[in-house]
Each structure stands twice: as structure tokens, then as C-alpha cells.
Amino acid sequence: MKNESFEKFVEDLITKEQLLSLSDEIEIALSFIYKGTLSEPLSAKLSSDVSESFRKKLILAEEKGLFSKDPEAQKEFFRELKKYSQSIPVCKITLAFVPRQSFLSNLEDWFIKQVGRKVFLDIYANSKILGGAVIEFEGNYRDYSFSSELEQLLDRRNLIN
């Protein structure tokens, strides 16, 4: 049941940057557990201190009874959520451009199909690769950039001349 709740917190996150923001919001939530009255839902205490998305997910967890009113259980929930989110692998991708959200969504879908699980994307832009992508994931490095293709083509041309 907790994993289902944790998945809700990360399902719309795509990038490593968003993962870091989630981690920051978890720390903020932890700091608010003992503020105000214990009967007040944590989501209400956090009203303007975290993103609306985080707060809505917390409200949903509270409504479904997945988030306890006990402060110690709340602390444990957030520790486990942080641990869960940090267990999701990160893939470094270098592109020739800064991608839009729609491109990132398509890239995330492609990775889920290829890897069979959620992956956070650590995106870098480098116009020197011309196009394509350079991918680093779980110790594997693949250069699918046009710059490597162009270098190979120029090397072959130099061998011929």
C-alpha cells in the first residue's frame, strides 16, 4: 500500500532536477510535522510552503488513510518516500538542445518501454553533439550523436586521401 502511495508522489516527475525538488519538499514537510496542532492535517500546515502538486498528493494520501496522523509514522513515511524515490535509477542524457516538456515525456515513455521501469533523466544540453544523444545508464555509455558519426566519416575520408 505504501509503494502505491510512493508511486503517486513520483509518477509525474521526469528529471533529476524534479527528484531533487521532491527531496527538498520532503525535508520541508518533515520540518512542519510538529508545527501547529497535531489534529491539523499536515497538508494544511504546508499550504504555501510546498508545490501544489506535492500538497495534492499528500491530501490524497491523507484521505485514503495511507498517511497516518501520528507524527512518528509521518516521519517514517517521508523517510521511506525519500528512500524509495532515490532508489529509482538516473540516466544521464546529453542532447544538442534544451528539450521541452513534451519531448521529456516522450523520452520518459521510451525509457520505460526499453528498461521496463521508471527512470529519472539527468538532462544536459551540448550543441557540439549536433544532434542525436549521448546516453549514460547503469555503467553503460552509448554515443548516438551526429558528431561521432561525422568524426567517423571524416576519419574515413582522411584515410582515403
Q: What share of the chain in percent tops pLDDT 90? A: 70
Specify the 3-state DSSP secondary structure of 16.
Answer: helix
Q: Which three cell numbers stand for residue 11?
A: 509518477
Domain boundary among 86, 103, 125: 86
| Cα-based angle 120, 126, 128 (whole degrees, multiple of 5) | 145
| Cα-based angle 47, 53, 59 (whole degrees, multiple of 5) | 60
Decide: 91 and 123 in contact? Cβ < 8 Å: no
Residue of 55, 77, 75, 56 lying closest to 66 (CA atoms): 77
Looking at the structure, do residues 96 and 58 belong to the same domain, yes or no?
no
Looking at the structure, do residues 71 and 52 belong to the same domain, yes or no?
yes
Question: What pLDDT is attached to residue 131?
Answer: 85
Looking at the structure, do residues 30 and 99 belong to the same domain, yes or no?
no
Domain boundary among 66, 86, 106: 86
Looking at the structure, do residues 30 and 65 belong to the same domain, yes or no?
yes
Looking at the structure, do residues 8 and 57 belong to the same domain, yes or no?
yes
pLDDT tens track for 107-131:
999 999 999 999 999 999 998 888 8
Mean pLDDT of the residues in the chain: 90
Looking at the structure, do residues 70 and 121 belong to the same domain, yes or no?
no
**Domain housing 52:** 2-86
Decide: 144 and 132 in contact? Cβ < 8 Å: yes
Match 498517511 to its residue by C-alpha cell: 67
Lowest mean pLDDT among 1-10, 16-25, 62-71: 1-10
Domain boundary among 67, 86, 105: 86
Domains identified in the chain, total number: 2
Confidence of residue 147 (pLDDT cuts 50, 70, 90): confident
Segment 78-103 mean pLDDT:
95
| Size of the chain, expressed as the number of residues it contains | 161
